[in-house]
Structure 1
Amino acid sequence: MKIAALPLKQYKTERKTDYSAIILEGPHAEKEVNQIVAVCRHFSHRDLENLNCLYLGTSEYNIAEYLGHYFKEVIALDVDESALRINRRFSLHDNIRYVCCVDGNLSIDDSTIDVVICDRFYSRVDNPEELMYEIYRVLRYNGFCYFSAYNKLSLVERHLSIPFLAWLPGWAAEILMKLSGRKGKYNNKLLTLSKLRKLVDNFWRHDYVGLIRKNPLVFQTQDELCPKPSEAKSSGRLLKYIYPFLPLWIWVLTKKK
């Protein structure tokens, strides 16, 4: 399954002077979108080209511009209005809407979204329970949510590459960041597997971890879920034992009726 990506050279050329205002890492974004689209196509019984999509958190990597190739309409939502203004100005697609989220409200009507993409986003909001409530509210009953989540028990924090950072309370995490030469506060609120399952309890969970590990080429993945070549033969048998300690989980969520 070969999935084309947005020509990065064209995107950089269009953005020129304002390109540095928003981080868009070409290889990172391309790999991310390839995996998201592959999972969505595998799960959906309808063509993505006929569906609308809500993408949550678009200011850090403007993945919405890539998703515009695959969905009928993309609503890209974030809390950073200044970043959204730049995205609107330099967007290459007329099927993408950039919307600012205010006070945790998605500002979208009930049961109007076919696909929600919540990609490693739950830990960046103050109230993940409210986030999941809002996803449930806007999602159609025949729609689904691509949901990926980092694990609090990962030895190395995935955003900052600092060992044991996610294990620590806030004050200790800030001290470790300073000792590592990093500025700012550590705001990610990662969860363990049991707490994450509780968070999505209002949804049916369709687990893609095993499928992706067995078929990395089909799902266009090169991330933390892929077993090392030396582990490939035994990874299936060991999965149930190592599952709570995987660095990342990928699920498709559907509404319980």
Structure 2
Amino acid sequence: MDKYQCHFSETNTAVSSLGSRTPKFEKIWSIIGNYSSIDFQNAVCLEVGCSAGIIVNLLSKHFRTAIVINIDHNAILSAHKIMNVEACLLAGDALSLPLKDKSLDVIICNHVYEHVTNSHLMMSEIYRVLKDEGFCFFSAGNKFSIIEGHYHIPFLSWLPKSIADLYLRITGKGQEYYEKHLSYYGLRKLLSNFEIEDYTIRIIKNSRLPI
């Protein structure tokens, strides 16, 4: 377990911002809502890595049961404070989900993979607990994005870790680069167990929705 995972919400204030999280919820729901085969009012939804709980608080109004899991205990405490509907908030590891096989209808994994120590194990766990007719909303940053999404400096995720660490220090953005991004083809391989429907181009064309 990387130490920074356990305190991620303390060092990334955007995850606690309603102004930042609400547009992301709108993006997620605009995509999820296309799956009319799911009876959402009777469905069970899991959000992996709930940050401060803003997105799941908005999502949970649409589901019978909402579950969140986060390794960051402070984020779970923050989520408890803002929840205005009942949800099951679990402090735990996405690499070992404390849930039964094929028990979930919908899983949200929103920009989480790069923060875990083993993204392939996380996706294997998501596949295990997802029902055969269920689906996972998965959004991810690309290693070869020009501007890195967390520190907003160019080419950071392209670099070997030792050079990326030095780059962060020189720019005054941090001390160590923990994130582990994959290329587009690496992401396709990560999701190889799933049937993939790629919404990237549609979201880019709809400038109202955040990427």
SS in structure 2 at match of 1:76: strand
2 CA distance for matches of 1:62 and 1:47?
23
Q: In structure 2, give the amino acid aligned to 1:39.
A: I
Q: Residues 162 and 21 from structure 1, CA distance in 2 versus in 1: closer, same or farther, beyond 3 angstroms?
A: closer
2:65 alignment partner, one of 73, 79, 83: 73
SS of structure 2 residue aligned to 1:203:
coil
| Partner residue in 2 for 1:42 | 34
- Structure 2-normalised TM-score? 0.87
The 2-side partners of 1:47 and 1:61 are apart by: 23
- C-alpha separation in 1, matches of 2:196 and 2:73: 32
Of the two, which has the highest radius of gyration?
A: 1
The one-letter amino acid of 1:165's match is L
**Paired residues, number:** 200
| One-letter amino acid matched to 1:82 | N
Q: What residue number does 2:110 align with?
A: 119
CA shift for structure 1 position 81: 1.9
2:137 matches 1:146: yes
Residue 188, structure 1, aligned to residue 192, structure 2: no
The sequence identity of aligned pairs, in percent, is 31
Q: CA deviation at 1:61?
A: 5.8
Deviation of the 1:141 alpha carbon = 0.4
Instruction: Give the corresponding residue for 1:212.
Output: 203
Structure 1 range deviating more: 140-149 or 71-80:
71-80
Length-normalised TM-score, structure 1 = 0.72
> What do the CA deviations read for 1:112-156 (whole angstroms, capped 9, x no partner)?
000001111111100001001000000000100001111100111
The within-5 A match list for 1:222-237 is 223-224=210-211
Would the aligned equivalents of 2:15 and 2:21 in 1 still touch at CA under 8 Å?
no
Contact map agreement 1:22 1:61 (CA 8 A) in 2: no
Q: CA RMSD in A?
A: 2.1
Q: Structure 2: how far apart are the matches of 1:70 and 1:210?
A: 26
Instruction: Write the mapping of 1:1-257 to structure 2, written as runs, cut at 5 A.
Output: 23-59=15-51, 62-94=54-86, 96-102=87-93, 104-214=95-205, 216=206, 221=209, 223-224=210-211
Segments of 5+ residues of structure 2 without an aligned counterpart are 1-11
Deviation at 1:82, TM superposition (A): 3.0
